[in-house]
Chains A and B, each alone.
Chain A
Amino acid sequence: MRIRLEKRPEPSNFMLVATPVASVLLTMIIGVVIFEAMGIDGVRAVKDIFLTPLLASYKWQDVAVKAAPLIIIGVGLSVGNRANVWNIGAEGQYIVGALAGAGVGLLTAGLSGWWVLPAIVSGGVLGGMAWAAIPAFLKNRYGVSEILSSLMLTYVALQLLSYLIGGPWKDPAGRNFPQTPLLTGDQLMPMFVPGTTVHMGVPIAVLVALAFWALMSRSVFGFQIRVVGSAPNAARHGGFSARKTVWLALLIGGAMAGLAGVFELTGATKQLNLGFPSGYGFTAIIVSFLGRLHPIGVLIAGIVLAVTYVGGQVAQTTVHIPNSTAGIFQAMMLFFILASDIFVRYRLRIVSGRPAAAEPEGARQ
């Protein structure tokens, strides 16, 4: 008797929703066990990490501000991932987007008007797109793997940031610390909820997710992306251009990463310094998969990851878990969700006797 995997004719919708939930629950259960083994109050720790940020209303704004960039970048990346275009350089596009925004910020310093903020935000979007255009061009022109080129460009972006903030764009009033001048007045993103840190980027992140949902499920473009991803041959026959898909997937990913970067700049940090790159672009890849590449899934996944970040820091002060465990948690959650993907596409069958089909076992000549 053995277990065999059988491909489902259609991906299971139940499993599509159930497996991410199960992954989070499983991570929580294993977390309790690990913490207890470490001599820490496991239930309290897991409650602080996963539930306190949701139950304590004063934590909501922190979760919202942290989730917004993850959601915006995550939905953008999901478009590419669906079309089998793997942009893993969102962190670089996020940085260059913020840099371009800061550049427009330098140009508009001291100016006022309703157009100032939109100009900065547009700069950010264009910056992110420009950085993503490089791997798109290289892919279409020379067949360069976008996985490798976009990753490499992230490290180039980090150095570009370091160069600009410590050199030409250094804040003259910054006492010679490497940082750009503070944005002021009309350059800043208004707050969504006055008196909190929840800036307009938060509701926009939700709108972005909804807009992508509509785009992906209702438009010809969304159909095209889905076909290219799931059945490349059919797409070719259908007359969809693979080149165009690569361009669109990367530019959309870059635009969203740039948008997130410039929101973070104008809504939260108000200036760029060496601490600005904080890994949102990489974490958003996880968010994208955790959300099953679906805009609404990404919205929820972004919130879940933000909760574990905020909760991880709560648990550090309440039960003194080491900070490093937060990473182990996120990795575990992702491992589970990726692993459970198999339940969506396959069903487990218990069969008796030897299977008829040749099993790929051992190197037979």
Chain B
Amino acid sequence: MTRLTRRNFVKAAAATSALPLLGSRAFAADPLKVGYIFLGPIGDFGWTWAHNKGREEVEKELGSAVETVYVENVNEDASAIPVIRDLAQQGCKLIFTTSYGYMDQTIQVASEFPDVKFEHCTGYKRADNVATYNSRFHEGRAVLGTIAGMMSKTGVIGYLGSYKVPEVVLGVNAFTLAAQAVNPDIQVKLVMIDSWFDPAKEAAATETLINLGCDIVTTHTDSPAALQILEQKGLYGFGQGADMSTFAPKAHLTAIEDIWGPYYVARAKAVIDGTWASQDTWWGFKEGTVKISPYNPAMPADVQAAADAIQKGWHDGTYNVFTGPIFDQDGNQKVADGATMPDSDLAVIDWYVKGVQSAS
């Protein structure tokens, strides 16, 4: 055991020391210092991992014009304030706070540093020097729904959720509407586990959905645990946030990848050019922040074609999954025939569409 531990230790050490000592690097010209506040560890293969990929993209694209720093595992409470402030004090002129729970903390620190630009992910409060940004993950959910609707044999699909927040409700609805478009009788069973990350509960919930007749389970929680259960059972699922095919090569049909690079590069450039302005950005397929991973070869050609068509529709603006008529679970018509839901409604949605079977 001692020997094994030491080997791991050395590996971990090697990985850590390979990171550049960013704070102590000296530059001839003053590069733009960009800071990131991360919710989890950068190795979580999910939310934070994707944001860190975006940060690396900035370093790659803009080279010596920028310098980036990040802090991992920052709690979503008042203790985030000093961490955000620390980045500003270290000379960061652009700071991305990458989780909803940093909203008020970002606004507060921003008021103390008027010459620093802040960007808060998935929130809704802005200021002169605070912009907000989010990604239209639900566009990707529509692609997954199409695939699941076509590939499910039982007609019952499981949806593993975290909390009833707008992002998840949007995902459930987009997924269900797209699945219904290819198979009107499809049923979606929704189970919320009240956590973004609890592999054991994610696994148990996935098994439960399978036991209730689901032959495809899609996840809106962060670990690949569900996919590994599906792999064991010979069923299908999707990756969340990143290509998770290494965790479940057979079960992984495809994944929605969060691609933050294009946005981070654009905003860093805007600060360098002096064109940065506070705004709310909600990018999707078209702008490249939502991407679908390579398909599993097990997907029949017609399914691949249908999935491609949805992607293309989002790209050129000819497709919108939230086009009426849309009914809620009780059968009330929420969106008129032919109308599309405006972004302002999407951002606060708290009802599920007809065909979603949920506990509340």
Contact = CB atoms under 8 A, between A and B. Distances in A.
Contacts of A271: 104
A59 to B, nearest CB: 8
A314 interface: yes
Contact of A197 (B71, B81, B100): B81
A273 B17 CA distance: 36
B160 to A, nearest CB: 18
A212 to B, nearest CB: 24
A162 interface: yes
B101 A318 contact: no
A177 interface: yes
Given A175-B166, A320-B21, A275 B71 contact: no
Contact of B41 (A175, A182, A314, A323): A323
B22 A314 contact: no
A317 B164 contact: no
A269 B100 contact: no
B350 A176 contact: yes
Nearest to A319: B21
Interface stretch (A21-29, A38-46, A214-222): A38-46
Contacts of A175: 124, 166, 347-348
Nearest to A167: B360
A270 interface: yes
Given A275-B101, A316-B71, A65 B82 contact: yes
Given A38-B13, A38-B17, A275-B77, A313 B83 contact: yes
Contact of A320 (B16, B85, B101, B124): B16
A268 interface: yes
Nearest to B347: A175
A91 interface: no
B17 A40 contact: yes
19 contacts: A38-B13, A39-B13, A41-B21, A62-B81, A65-B78, A66-B79, A176-B350, A177-B166, A182-B104, A197-B108, A269-B77, A275-B101, A278-B79, A310-B82, A313-B71, A313-B82, A317-B70, A318-B23, A320-B19
B19 to A, nearest CB: 5
Given A162-B194, A323-B72, A39 B82 contact: no
Interface string A297-321: 0000000000001100110111111
Contacts of A118: none
A271 B165 CA distance: 17
A316 B72 contact: yes
Given A317-B35, A317-B90, 17 more contacts: A59-B82, A62-B82, A176-B348, A176-B350, A197-B108, A268-B81, A269-B78, A274-B76, A274-B101, A275-B76, A275-B77, A275-B101, A278-B79, A319-B23, A319-B24, A322-B12, A322-B16
A264 B79 CA distance: 10
Nearest to A268: B78
Interface in B78-133: 78-79, 81-83, 85-87, 89-90, 100-101, 104, 108, 124
A275 B74 CA distance: 10
A290 B98 CA distance: 35
B29 interface: no
Nearest to A325: B16
B26 interface: no
Most buried by B among A61, A177, A178, A197: A177
A264 B78 CA distance: 8
B69 interface: yes
A273 B101 contact: yes
Contacts of B73: 323-324
Given A40-B17, A166-B164, A177-B165, A278 B75 contact: yes
Nearest to B165: A177
A97 to B, nearest CB: 15
B359 interface: no
| Residues of A in contact with B, size category | 35 or more
A217 B18 CA distance: 54
A178 to B, nearest CB: 6
Contacts of A176: 164-166, 169, 348-350
Contacts of B83: 313
Interface string A273-308: 111101000000000000000000000000000000
Interface in B207-227: none
A133 to B, nearest CB: 26
A335 interface: no
B276 interface: no
Interface in B42-87: 69-79, 81-83, 85-87
B48 to A, nearest CB: 11
A58 interface: yes
A71 to B, nearest CB: 15
Contacts of A62: 81-82, 85-86
Interface in B12-39: 12-14, 16-17, 19, 21-24, 35
B23 A38 contact: no
Nearest to B6: A37
Q: Which of B82, B83, B86 is most buried by chain A, counting CB atoms within 10 A of its CB? A: B82
A158 to B, nearest CB: 10
Contacts of B283: none
B163 interface: yes
A316 B21 CA distance: 10
The 6 A-B residue pairs with the shortest CB-CB distance, nearest first, are A275-B76, A39-B17, A62-B82, A268-B78, A318-B23, A38-B13
Nearest to B87: A317
Contacts of A182: 104
A351 B17 CA distance: 48
A322 B11 CA distance: 13
Contacts of B9: 38
Contacts of B72: 316, 322-323
The residue among A176, A309, A318 with the most chain B CB atoms within 10 A of its own CB is A176
Contacts of A162: 194
Interface in A102-136: none
Contact of B69 (A166, A310, A317, A321): A317
Interface in A147-188: 162, 166, 175-178, 182
Contacts of B13: 37-39
Nearest to B85: A62
A177 B108 CA distance: 19
